């Protein structure tokens, strides 16, 4: 069998479209779906010198029943965002939607406001798709000014 026709690739081989100069290594395998700048540069880790520009995952990942959508929440610039990725057209062409979460929907009934709450983000205990994958239900953790609540967010 010639090298060109073999089907099994060694873990150390660079896949088509990637190069070692781009930072490819065999441990970073798979498809990069989010954020867009990582997907475009085909890199898992892009150094971010300014800490305020870093993204943090603040929820578990939820898959839709059809396995065509993924949802998770991220913190970015002191805000909470719901990210929904549609992979129904394939992993190479994901559709990405990102919605800022209205923090006020998660506030406790009575809160003694403190300055540090201005930068607090809503953290989710669980997410699930609802309404035929047209909404995501966020179950928040009780933390700071936020109560443990279940809030439905429309995504379509």
Q: Considering the domain boundaries, does residue 127 fall inside one?
A: yes
Q: Considering the domain boundaries, does residue 61 fall inside one?
A: yes
Q: What percent of the chain has pLDDT over 70?
A: 74
Q: Considering the domain boundaries, does residue 136 fall inside one?
A: yes
Position 28 scores a pLDDT of: 56
32 burial class (0-12, 13-18, 19+ CB within 10 angstroms)? middle
pLDDT exceeds cutoff 90 at 156: no
26 plus 94 within the same structural domain? no
The reported pTM is: 0.76
Query: CA geometry: angle at 139 spanning 136 and 145, to 5°?
Result: 125
Q: What percent of the chain has pLDDT over 90?
A: 51
Q: Mean pLDDT, to the nearest integer, of 82-97?
A: 90
**Strand ranges (E), the chain:** 56-57, 62-63, 69-76, 79-86, 95-100, 124-130, 135-140, 150-154
Distance CA(143)–CA(122), nearest Å, equals 8
Phi, psi of 53 (to 5 degrees): -95, 0
Position 110 scores a pLDDT of: 84
Q: Which residues span the domain enclosing 37?
A: 12-47
For 114-150, write each residue's pLDDT tens digit: 898 989 999 999 999 999 999 999 999 999 999 999 9
The H or E element containing residue 59 is none
């Amino acid at each position: 069998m010639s090298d060109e026709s073999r089907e099994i690739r060694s873990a150390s081989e660079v896949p088509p479209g990637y190069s070692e100069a781009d930072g490819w290594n065999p441990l970073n395998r798979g498809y990069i779906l989010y954020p867009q700048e990582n997907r475009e540069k085909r890199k898992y880790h892009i150094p971010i010198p300014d800490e305020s520009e870093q993204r943090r995952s603040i929820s578990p990942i939820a898959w839709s029943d059809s396995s065509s959508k993924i949802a998770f929440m991220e913190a970015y610039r002191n805000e909470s965002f719901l990210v929904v990725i549609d992979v129904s057209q394939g992993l190479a062409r994901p559709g990405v939607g990102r919605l800022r979460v209205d923090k006020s929907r998660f506030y406790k009934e009575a809160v003694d406001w403190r300055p540090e709450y201005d930068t607090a983000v809503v953290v989710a205990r669980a997410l699930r798709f609802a309404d035929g994958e047209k909404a995501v239900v966020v179950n928040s953790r009780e933390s700071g000014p936020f109560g443990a609540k279940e809030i439905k967010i429309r995504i379509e």
